[in-house]
Structure 1
Amino acid sequence: MSTDPRFTPVLLALPSFTPSLALEVLPHGATLHRLFVQADGKTHDVLVGPERPEDHLRQKYTNTIVGRYANRLPVPAAPVTLTKGAATAQFFPQANEKPAVSLHGGVAGFDSHVWEPTLDIRAATLFTPAEVAFAESRFAPQSAAVFARTSPDGEEGFPGALRVETLVALVPPSGKAIDDATGAYCLGSVLIVYRAKLEGTEGVTPINLTQHWGFNLDASLQDGEPTIKEHKLSIQAAHTLELDADTALATGRLVPVGGTHHDHAAKTTGTLGEAFDGGYDEFYLFDAPPHAVPARLPASALADPAAPDTLAAILAPSPTALAAAPLVALAGARSGLSLVFDSNQSGVQLYTNNFAAPARSARKAIHGGSGVFGEGGYAPGSAAFLEFHAPLGAFAEEMAAARGRSGEDTLLAAGEVYNNFVRADVWWRPGA
């Protein structure tokens, strides 16, 4: 256990029952270090990553938050003027991946900073009175925490001082805990809610937060090198975003998935390994209209006792199960574990750890590794990163098609509260 407070895990757990969930979250980068699932008498950790929390300093973007802006933005020759309504601001993102590319928030993005944790949601400032009351009644003790920081004006070229609060919670099953069609059990849910608000009464800033979390649902079985090629994946998306071949920046063009290896529903086996074609690093734009839970809330709601309870809407019994067609679902090949995702974001980035290098990573002991950095870490194809956010660079003029389809410009003006959630329901099917 680390003695450095930056890397001392905040342990979240559901009340004792079997099967059960537990989650370790690090203040450094609001990092999800381990997600334990107990099923059929075995403990699984379904997140890839280093054994030692401190190794997240060397193994970047592994289960961390990323921001202020996820994925890649073009770096202009000079600051650009952003406009939303009457609000304007100067924006000059900082290059880090390439001279013309700013990746995941810049040189020192949100993943590089220490977040202040609290187990008392009443200490949060970006949740409404009704949401605080709901959380106190619904979340068991030690099952939820809020991680907060204020990003100063000009950090990595982003305008405006921005208060960010991230709620991370484990929640018991809502609705039926057994799926009649498959006999699978819902073990509970992992919930992440990102809130952000500009300090002051003027200004605008780009924002597009996500969790850069990578899953392998079979790795804890330790039956060979971890791979997700036998995992099954479904995504309710008919389009990806075209990417520039040299910079991986979005061009703004929407590309139909039909007839390509991105049409996961059309695959014969349904596995990620079918037509793997070097792996995936693509943004999928969902077919469904925007979620009923809005992506922006009025700042006035934060002090309004009559404001809607968004958390209650997020955690309402899911209308979909394993037999239906959820937004995104990932299923292991042998563990019997599955994840069913819901979100109010308009798309998901799928990345299959294509750039992983065993000599530049550490593999957890529970996944058959030594835990020592550089000694047989994770290889390409070892994880499915599923990052829920809006189209990358949606505020840019060339992204008009994606912006029109998603309804999201990824700009936050003063007087608004950014509201992004992802919920992952954890399922286990006996006898898989």
Structure 2
Amino acid sequence: MAEFEPVLLTLPSLAPSLAVEVIPYGLTIHRVFVQADGRTHDIVIGPEDPRGHITQKYVNTIIGRYANRIPIGKHSIERNGVKAEVVAGLNEGSRVSLHGGPTGFDSLPWELLTPTSPPQLFTPAELAHLPPLSPPTSYAIFRLVSPDGDQGFPGELTTEVLVALVPPSEEERQYLEPGEQSAGAEWDLGSVVYVYRAKVDKGVTPVNLTQHWGFNLEASLKEGVDTLLVKNHNITMKADRIVARDADSLNTGKFINVSDATEHLHEGQKIGDKYPKMGYDDYYAFAPRTVAIPKRFPYAEFTPQLDMLKYILAPSGSQVSKGARPEPVIELASDKSGLKLLFETNQDGTMFYSNAWSDPAKGARKKIHGGSGIKDHGDGYIPGTAAFLEFHDVLGAFLDPANKNGNDTLLTSDEVYHNYVRCDVRFKKPSQ
């Protein structure tokens, strides 16, 4: 079936190289290949078979229409005087609508756009930064149309997502053969970029999209249990609060300062240094910062000349990108593999989940990570084997009156939703 046929994105002219496999089913990142120092890594966990994502839910898929958890039932919503109702359906426990409801964006086939079915939510000026659309090479654009009333959400929502690979800048590009990198030098291997656009046809609706991707920078080393865990990964997070949640993980409307809960103060130490008993599963709000790239913009500004991709798609270190994009908010690194990921976004925070509820008896572990690749074979991923970093706005923000007409995660028909996440991939040869 076409929705399970991976779309391969590559930077073929570069060595070391970066490649991504995207599955239209759930707009799923199936693999992120990094080749460095003569070794191939797949830095995201998941099943071997693309069809495995049907049962291994929320592994590297998109989440929508609404990320994370909201209470079930009817909710009145309003933005700038436009009113509607949401009827959230149950799909977790007895009180929770999770990740957009029983049939969310993660379990639907997305349309891969082609020249005969061009994007509607990206302008000619923005597309000019990309090579011709067919055949897909370093990027692809996908579309999903969610009908009015889908999972209880009002309005027909059209969503288009650009997934792109960005090469290193000319200044940083290195053409060394595998094995020639010297210890101590850090190499820019390129970037993975997501840009989410959405438009509702009428009224107002909640929108809070994210990628539920889970990283492990050591699993491909296949050197035993230690390399399956992310507890030895170093993490830096520019966040000053976490959301206080109730027993069903619903937002209580309050925050906890990370200075008062030091296991959530991530300043470059190893994830396992202060590892909670049940692992990490928390929403981190980034410290106050200035971000010039908006999360929504007036539809009246959506003209052929509009260009919000110029800076987002500029290579790291290039003159175009310097000073134009926000600083990275998260750094994830492994001393053992030498890989490092730097994340930037225009969203307000991130969920950090350490795969604490993973059951090795269920699901499948990729062969490149030392598994059999066979579903329910008993060698799946153990707890603590991934750092899921899911960039989106605050949980259930539209339910808090304090957010009215502000960062309320609501979208009206005269606006365009604009969410981006960029992951820069770096490598430094480990010292022997």
Which 4+ stretches in 1 moved above 6 angstroms?
Answer: 137-140, 178-181
Partner deviation per Cα, 1:275-332 (whole Å, 9 max, x = no partner): 1012100111111325211000222333x2332x1111213445799xx973101001
TM-score calculated relative to the size of structure 2: 0.90
Partner of 1:15: 12
| Contact preservation (8 Å) 1:83, 1:204 | yes
Partner of 1:429: 428
**1:355 and 2:357 aligned:** yes
- Deviation for aligned residue 1:407: 5.1
Indicate how the Cα distance of structure 1 residues 50 and 141 shifts in structure 2: closer, same or farther if over 3 A, else same.
Answer: closer
Give the whole-Å Cα distance in 2 for the aligned partners of 1:257 and 1:358.
31
Partner deviation per Cα, 1:319-371 (whole Å, 9 max, x = no partner): 799xx973101001311001000100010110000110011121000000000
Partner deviation per Cα, 1:1-48 (whole Å, 9 max, x = no partner): xxx212110111112321001111101000000000000001100000
1:315 counterpart letter in structure 2: L
Partner of 1:155: 150
Give the whole-Å Cα distance in 2 for the aligned partners of 1:80 and 1:243.
19
| Contact preservation (8 Å) 1:119, 1:144 | no
Unaligned segments of structure 2, at least 5 residues: 175-181
Instruction: Quote the RMSD (CA, aligned, Å).
Output: 2.5
**1:174 and 2:162 aligned:** no
- What SS does structure 2 have at the residue aligned with 1:62? coil
Partner of 2:259: 258
Partner of 1:84: 79
2:121 counterpart letter in structure 1: L
Partner of 2:177: none
Partner of 2:54: 57
Partner of 1:289: 289
- Deviation for aligned residue 1:161: 0.3
- What SS does structure 2 have at the residue aligned with 1:311? coil
Give the whole-Å Cα distance in 2 for the aligned partners of 1:121 and 1:230.
47
Give the whole-Å Cα distance in 2 for the aligned partners of 1:81 and 1:65.
26
TM-score calculated relative to the size of structure 1: 0.90
Q: How does 1:391-430 map to 2 (within 5 A)?
A: 391-397=394-400, 400=402, 403=403, 408-430=407-429
- What SS does structure 2 have at the residue aligned with 1:261? helix
Partner of 1:239: 241
| Contact preservation (8 Å) 1:36, 1:44 | yes
Partner deviation per Cα, 1:238-271 (whole Å, 9 max, x = no partner): 1111111x11001111110014200011x7xx00
Give the % identical residues: 48
Partner of 2:178: none
When structure 1 is superposed on structure 2, of 62-71 and 94-103 the one drifting more is 94-103
Aligned pair count reads 413
Give the whole-Å Cα distance in 2 for the aligned partners of 1:423 and 1:19.
19
Unaligned segments of structure 1, at least 5 residues: none
| Contact preservation (8 Å) 1:120, 1:146 | no
- Deviation for aligned residue 1:135: 2.3
- Deviation for aligned residue 1:138: 12
Indicate how the Cα distance of structure 1 residues 347 and 253 shifts in structure 2: closer, same or farther if over 3 A, else same.
Answer: same
Partner of 2:308: 310
Indicate how the Cα distance of structure 1 residues 392 and 106 shifts in structure 2: closer, same or farther if over 3 A, else same.
Answer: same
